[in-house]
C-alpha cells in the first residue's frame, strides 16, 4: 500500500491541476496558469504549492535510492522559485512583480525538470531520462512557438508525475557510484 501513496498524490494533484486550468481554458494565452492566477490568486497558490510538494516528494523518494544529496539544494532553489511564482503577480503593469514572477516560474520549472532528469540519468534509467529530456525540450520549443497555454505548462508536470511514479515503484535501493 505504501508504494501506491505517491501515484495517488500525483492523481489528486493532476485532477486539481485540470480543474484549475479549466477555469481559463486549456488553449490560448488566456488559459495560462499564471493568467488564471491574476483572478484566482488563492487557487493559483494552492496549485503551485501542491505541484511543488508532490514533485518534491517524488524526488526525495527517488534520490533516497542513490548516494546523491545535491537534490536537497536543487529542491530549495526550486521552492524559492515557486514561492516567487505564486506570490508575485503576472501583471506587466507591475514590472518588478512581473519580472520576479517570471524568474520564479522559470527557476521552478527548469530546476525541477533538471532535478528529475538527473535522477534518471544518474540512476542509469536511460529510457526515463530520455523521455524526460525530450519532454523538457519539446515543452520549451512549444512555449517559444505558442507562448503559454495550460496544456503546454502542464505537460512536463504530468510527465514528471508519471515518470516519478514509475521510477519510485521500483523497490530496490540503487547505490550509484559505490564500489564493492
pLDDT tens for the chain, residues 1 to 180? 677 899 999 999 999 999 999 888 777 677 788 889 999 999 999 999 999 999 999 999 999 999 999 999 999 999 999 999 999 988 888 899 999 999 999 999 999 999 999 999 999 999 999 999 999 999 889 888 887 777 888 999 999 999 999 999 875 555 555 544
Regarding pTM above 0.85, the answer is yes
Buried b / exposed e across 1-37, counting CB within 10 Å, b at 16+?
eeeeebbebbeebbebbeebbebbbeeeeebbbbbbb
Q: Give 119-155 pLDDT, tens digit per residue.
A: 999 999 999 999 999 999 998 898 888 877 778 889 9
Amino acid at each position: 500500500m505504501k508504494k501506491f501513496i505517491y501515484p495517488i498524490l500525483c492523481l489528486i494533484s493532476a485532477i486539481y491541476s485540470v480543474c484549475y486550468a479549466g477555469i481559463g481554458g486549456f488553449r490560448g494565452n488566456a488559459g495560462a496558469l499564471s493568467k488564471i492566477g491574476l483572478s484566482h490568486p488563492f487557487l493559483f497558490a494552492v496549485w503551485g504549492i501542491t505541484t511543488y510538494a508532490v514533485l518534491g516528494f517524488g524526488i526525495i523518494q527517488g534520490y533516497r535510492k542513490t548516494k546523491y544529496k545535491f537534490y536537497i539544494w536543487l529542491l530549495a532553489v526550486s521552492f524559492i522559485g515557486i514561492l516567487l511564482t505564486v506570490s508575485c503577480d503576472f501583471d506587466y503593469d507591475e514590472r518588478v512583480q512581473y519580472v520576479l514572477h517570471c524568474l520564479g516560474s522559470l527557476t521552478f520549472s527548469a530546476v525541477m525538470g533538471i532535478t528529475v532528469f538527473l535522477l534518471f540519468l544518474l540512476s542509469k534509467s536511460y529510457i526515463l531520462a530520455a523521455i524526460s529530456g525530450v519532454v523538457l525540450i519539446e515543452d520549451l520549443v512549444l512555449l517559444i512557438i505558442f507562448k503559454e497555454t495550460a496544456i503546454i505548462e502542464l505537460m512536463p508536470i504530468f510527465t514528471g508525475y508519471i515518470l516519478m511514479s514509475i521510477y519510485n515503484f521500483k523497490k530496490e535501493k540503487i547505490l550509484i557510484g559505490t564500489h564493492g
